[in-house]
Chains A and B, each alone.
Chain A
Amino acid sequence: MRPTNQTKKMVYGIVIVALLVAMVPATARVNRIKVEKDLGEAAIGQIDSGSFMMKLFLLGGFRGIVANYLWIQAEDHKKNHDWDRLKATVDLITKLQPHFLSIWTFQGWNLAYNVSVEWDAPEDKYDWIKQGIKFVQEGVRNNQRSPDLIWDTAWFYYHKLGFSDESIILRRLFRDDEDEGFKTYYDPEERRDVVRNDNFQLGYGWFSRAVSLVDEGGARVGGGTSSDITYIDPTPQRKGRADDIAFRSMPAHAQTHYAAALEKMSIAGVEATFGEVAKNEWAKALREWIKFGQHKFMSHNVVLRDGEYVKDEVYLDDATNPEKFKTLPENAQYWTDRWASQMNYRYWKERAQAEMTSEGVAARQSFYEGTKAYKTGDFATAAEKFREGLAIWDENLKGFPTYRDDDLSRKDTGLVVKRYVRVLRQLGEPVPDVFPFKDLLAAAEADNTVDPFDAIEMLGVGAGEVSSAPPPSQPRASDAPATRPGG
């Protein structure tokens, strides 16, 4: 007998229900794996419906092909200098592959570095760096367990904004940016989200976040399913491996740069800050360095000890503690010394120690004020400030021989000495036979470089903002009609 229409419908209905029921355990299993691998959209408290819809309904199995096509198109847009279409295309790719870390890293870098450099005006560069940073931050939101992307975010704040040729202006733009979300980070000491106006502080916050995520055991080795796949050439986790010393030093670096930047006009048109604020920030820098120095690293090699092959524990801070250093086994001494030198740990720690003192800050303030007076032609004040500053600085550095003899420090102080001597000559006063740091004079005289991260050096005192007046054009015989105000 042929089944009637009614029977057919019933059979179909039963099959549909059965399939739905069968899907329940499968879904549960898939959800569990999603959470394990940090691939779940719901795991992060929000569902990106656009991305989800696009993947599920519109593309299905064509996702890979479309993503490939978009990658090619993105490169074409880059070649044709169509930056905004590049950004739009890249955004689309991330909708398709939100858990593919390389897209965030690669294209975030592309936007913040490669695209921004193509634009001439610092405002536009800033716009693109911001787009790049926000892009990797979006990646962090999609991949909460990846230290790599957090580290990238921190690096863009720290390096791209802080170490570009236009840093003094970029940092000013960052300071003036009204977008508070862009200036927020989780402060590990205050244990809350804070809004800060200096990109080095943001760098510090995000570096700290990456480090603490690694400490909590967060790791995303390659893609989400890689444990089920045997790669011939596996992608290693780039940042936060157990022996990644440089990775752990970054919060301290960012904090140190912040403290140092406070004591000069490192933001165009913004005066330097001294006093308790500066002291506190240097103290914080010291804390960070000590924290880094007290982290346990394991030596790379193994030694035979008590019949067992063991690795030695290495603490970089021991390099600054001769008593303890002597008690270490030879192998540990070797690695402690090697890594401390590699990271220049002694210098950084001593620098923070020397700068955080009241004398250190006072000397820096004298140098700053002296330089301003020097640049504005007030030589009497300049001489006074330099003399005063050099004396305090000399006294202060007596306890910090490593810092005193460091090349960077010598260059810094040498510049002050050079200017002090010049000021004296201008005033017609004799150069004293003996004064602190006079030994640095010869080297400083031969050095003509200026500090690119100091607006006073680059743009002059008071020229916080660059004048936008055009240069005088050559006089021309011209019977030109008068210009109306252009626009």
Chain B
Amino acid sequence: MPAFLIPPLLWAQAETASPPASQAAQNALLWLYLAGDTSVAIPGLLGALLTWAKIIGLVALVGWVGSWVVTAVKERFVGVGRWYDYLGLLALALIPLTVFVQVIQTEGWIKPVTIAGLPLPSLMSYVAVLSLATWALVGVWKTIGPFGRPADKLTLVGMALALALGVGAGVGMIQLGMFHRLPDMPEMSWRDGVVHGTRLGVTFMGYVVLARVLSLLVGELFAVRARRLSAIARVTLYESNRKMWAPWVVLIVFGMVLAFTHWFLQPPRAAEMGRLYVGTLTLLCSLLLTAMVTILTPISLPTDIQQQTIYTVVTKPVRRLEVVWGRMLGYMALVTVLVALFGGISLTYLWRTVMGEITRIEALSDRARSDGREREANQYSEQAEQLRSRMAARVPVKGSLSFLDSKGDPHAMGIDVGQEQSMKEPRSHIEGATPAAAIWRYGMVPDPFSPPNRPVILDRRIDVSQFLPLGTVEGEENRVFEIQAQLAALEREKSQPDLTPSRSSQLDASIARWKGDLDKARASFEAVSARAAELEEAGDEAGAEALHAPPLRIEMTFNIYRTTKGEVGKPVYADIELTNEAAGSKFQDVFPVREYYTNRLLIQPSVLVGCMGSLRIDVRCMSPTQYLGMAESDLYLLADNGDFGWNYMKGLFGIWLQAMVLTAIGVFAGTFLSWPVALLTTIAFFIAGQLAFGFLIDFTRQAVLGGGPFESLIRLVTHDNQMSELAPTAGVVVAKTLDSLVMPIMSMLVYIVPNFQVLDVTNTVADGFAVGWRHMLGNTLLALAYALPFSIAGYFILKNREVAA
């Protein structure tokens, strides 16, 4: 049923309502679909939360049913040879058999078989699922009677209702024809509706169980006391400090590595020294902290249990949740102290080495200049300048980039010169000495990639007050312009013919108010500019400059693609033109492009006056036969240079978040595994999330070449490449069957393994750009979304475990 995976089509369908159904019913079904289908995700925070709830719900469902079934087996309610146990066995045998039949069908060993209109594998899988569900249901039913509370029984009822709701929704969607008129969609029967509805139902069952779990948790949450939490945190801190010497080991290793950095890191080109050193230092912090957490957290609980010291804790009135969270708090306190220490030490180190390097390079530049070696002198001062700009937290204001081709026709992308490059934000090129241009637009601008007849509008307005602060000549002048624009808008509205009298009088009042403001703004603009002119006449340059807004800074990084060598040693020139369409002012300049360097331009701030947040920047290549390459991030207005130290600490906060997630996993693993296994589990999670997350995503999308693990093994052994079709021998069929069994389970990992990479923002810091607060908040939410469920799962396991029986 591939159409279920295409939500945009579904949305489109939803807009054109089918006659028999009311709009409300359609909407309700649509929401049920979005809330129930795990394969669709809507963008934005709400979508993220919904996906999160779906996954957590399903995990809770599996956990809840699993725990009851385990109890049932332990209490010998099932697995004793009754009729339903044979159903369980049947399911166990049928699942691999179904996959096998499916594989041999696709490999062409047997012809597709259809029984009563149903393909054989589907029929087998329905039987298997039904038998397994029946067996599990009997187990849960029999156990919940004597052992369960009324709430559990209620949950069971709720689950039944949820399933019914899901099936109802599925059938309803078919009946109302919500998939009916999709192009290329085969005729759907009520059976498809039931199958799809069951999938929705399972997710809804997950919500029901999630509600039950939350109800169990609420009481525990209210019972948590800060006093006990801090006591356990303190004990954890002492333990890691005294028993493992963990912070000291980590600190000493850090110091050792720092003292001998030159062994591991050759002094690179001066321009990139800061970036390399920042990258290396943050990597070191990250490695040490995560290694420490990975080793400490999973060991602590199992050791306590093994050495029976846990008795002294659990016999006290301490909640189990406090045991888990207290431990996490303790470790995070340790990590916090270490992050602060690492941050301080590495900042001092960076300051000393990088600033020292800048001084050294500048001295070299001066000497070269006095010796008349102009080229070298320029090279040195350029390198020092680059290094300086990286040791900042630049806040870029980015526009939306579109292109004109060599004939002057607009395009979303420029020319692809076929250069191998990073595909994160590939650069495209404009041809020199032609009408080709790269245009960065600010303001409310259409997304160049959206279709022209249905443009998506992007908000790329410049916050002008950032560049032209009030109290300066330009700032005040801009204010006058803004008020004038406001007045003009009001006047326009007032001249509308069908204006109600009340609105008209409202408008009159506002116009009068704004006019007053305009007079005031004009007066203050005149006062400031008169004062500035006075100071300038009096020769007080600095005083006059203080009354003007700081120059507008534009930074650019272009790459050059030469089709001919051109004149030896002569750079490629670019032409830049700023157009403030609202106020009609312009600025134009020509500059030599330095490839891989940040080219800077300082511009009189007055070009922004009255721009109302929109601006257009055109860049052209002037040298004939040469090409200039750019991506959207390659040109920006620099709003602020920021403080590097603070930004560096924000980078370390990302590492702190990684450590938090890892702590949760470590403690979680420690609640039910012996320490060596818990340790390995935590390491596995870290490696999968840090190094192999991209691979996991490919795996889930089935985008891995060469098949699953077993098929790959065959390819490895037989030296077959990833692309060739394997002959359907018995071995290959068995391997593919095993893969089909294993791959869906492994695909689930992508939902459970935390994406550690995305929490790491140190690259941004190393590149000298500020890490935004929104970005940090998003990352914090993400980290919590991983850490909380792991810690709570740990709590439930610890609660049900007989640690001190």
Other 19 A-B pairs with CB < 8 A, given A50-B264, A487-B600 = A79-B422, A80-B421, A85-B276, A87-B269, A119-B596, A123-B376, A124-B379, A177-B376, A458-B568, A466-B568, A478-B587, A479-B586, A480-B587, A481-B587, A482-B604, A483-B587, A483-B589, A486-B600, A487-B385
Which one of B279, B374, B602 lies within 8 Å of A465 (CB-CB)?
B374
A338 to B660, CA, bound (A): 75
| A–B pairs, 29, beta carbons within 8 Å | A48-B263, A50-B263, A51-B263, A79-B420, A80-B421, A81-B421, A81-B559, A82-B422, A84-B268, A87-B268, A91-B266, A119-B595, A120-B595, A121-B595, A123-B375, A123-B378, A131-B269, A166-B568, A173-B375, A176-B373, A452-B568, A465-B375, A473-B622, A479-B585, A480-B587, A481-B585, A481-B607, A483-B589, A486-B601
Q: For residues 260 through 288 of chain B, which have their beta carbon under 8 Å from a beta carbon of chain A? A: 260, 262-266, 268-269, 272, 275-276, 279-280
Given contacts A165-B565, A480-B588, contact A176 B266 (CB under 8 A): no
Q: A470 interface residue, CB < 8 Å from B?
A: yes
Residues in A with CB closer than 8 Å to B422 are 79-82
Q: B572 interface residue, CB < 8 Å from A?
A: yes
A-B pairs, 3 with minimum CB distance: A50-B263, A84-B272, A80-B422
A471 touches B602 (CB 8 A): no
Within the complex, what minimum Cβ distance (angstroms) separates A282 from chain B? 27
Residues in B with CB closer than 8 Å to A50 are 260, 262-264
Residues in B with CB closer than 8 Å to A121 are 571, 594-595
Q: A310 interface residue, CB < 8 Å from B?
A: no
A85 to B565, CA, bound (A): 27
Q: For residues 557 through 599 of chain B, which have their beta carbon under 8 Å from a beta carbon of chain A? A: 559-560, 562, 565, 567-573, 575, 584-596
B590 touches A484 (CB 8 A): no
Q: For residues 26 through 46 of chain A, which have their beta carbon under 8 Å from a beta carbon of chain B? A: none
A92 touches B604 (CB 8 A): no
Q: A434 interface residue, CB < 8 Å from B?
A: no
For A50-64 the 0/1 string (1 means CB < 8 A from B) is 110110000000000
A470 touches B573 (CB 8 A): yes
Within the complex, what minimum Cβ distance (angstroms) separates B56 from chain A? 35
A480 touches B585 (CB 8 A): yes
Q: B127 interface residue, CB < 8 Å from A?
A: no
For B597-625 the 0/1 string (1 means CB < 8 A from A) is 00011111011000000000000001000
Q: For residues 112 through 139 of chain A, which have their beta carbon under 8 Å from a beta carbon of chain B? A: 118-124, 127, 131
A486 to B574, CA, bound (A): 14
Main secondary structure of the interface of B (DSSP, over half): mixed
Residues in B with CB closer than 8 Å to A268 are 569
A364 to B60, CA, bound (A): 91
Q: A168 interface residue, CB < 8 Å from B?
A: yes
Minimal Cβ-Cβ distance residue in B for A94: B266
Q: For residues 70 through 95 of chain A, which have their beta carbon under 8 Å from a beta carbon of chain B? A: 79-85, 87-88, 91-92, 95
Q: How large is the interface on A (under 10, 10 to 19, 20 to 34, 35 or more residues)?
A: 35 or more
Within the complex, what minimum Cβ distance (angstroms) separates A469 from chain B? 9
Minimal Cβ-Cβ distance residue in A for B622: A471
B593 touches A79 (CB 8 A): no
A84 to B276, CA, bound (A): 8
Residues in A with CB closer than 8 Å to B469 are none
Q: A172 interface residue, CB < 8 Å from B?
A: yes
For A2-45 the 0/1 string (1 means CB < 8 A from B) is 00000000000000000000000000000000000000000000
Residues in B with CB closer than 8 Å to A473 are 575, 588, 590, 622
A486 touches B602 (CB 8 A): yes
Q: B172 interface residue, CB < 8 Å from A?
A: no
Q: A49 interface residue, CB < 8 Å from B?
A: yes
A268 to B264, CA, bound (A): 38
A81 to B422, CA, bound (A): 8
Residues in A with CB closer than 8 Å to B569 are 122, 166, 169, 268, 459, 466
Minimal Cβ-Cβ distance residue in A for B560: A120
Which one of B279, B591, B594, B606 lies within 8 Å of A470 (CB-CB)?
B591
A476 touches B590 (CB 8 A): no
A352 to B52, CA, bound (A): 81
Q: B63 interface residue, CB < 8 Å from A?
A: no
Minimal Cβ-Cβ distance residue in B for A169: B569
For A444-487 the 0/1 string (1 means CB < 8 A from B) is 00000000100000110000011010110100101111111111
Q: B551 interface residue, CB < 8 Å from A?
A: yes
Which one of B269, B590, B604 lies within 8 Å of A127 (CB-CB)?
B269
A487 to B622, CA, bound (A): 20
A122 to B575, CA, bound (A): 22
Q: For residues 695 through 735 of chain B, which have their beta carbon under 8 Å from a beta carbon of chain A? A: none
A127 to B375, CA, bound (A): 12
For B419-448 the 0/1 string (1 means CB < 8 A from A) is 011100000000000000000000000000
Within the complex, what minimum Cβ distance (angstroms) separates B281 from chain A? 13
Given contacts A84-B268, A473-B590, contact A483 B379 (CB under 8 A): no
A79 touches B421 (CB 8 A): yes
Residues in A with CB closer than 8 Å to B376 are 123, 173, 176-177
Given contacts A84-B272, A459-B568, A471-B573, contact A92 B264 (CB under 8 A): yes
Which one of B264, B559, B573 lies within 8 Å of A54 (CB-CB)?
B264
Within the complex, what minimum Cβ distance (angstroms) separates B586 from chain A? 5
A465 to B265, CA, bound (A): 35
For A157-180 the 0/1 string (1 means CB < 8 A from B) is 000000001101100110011100
A121 to B572, CA, bound (A): 9
A168 to B567, CA, bound (A): 12
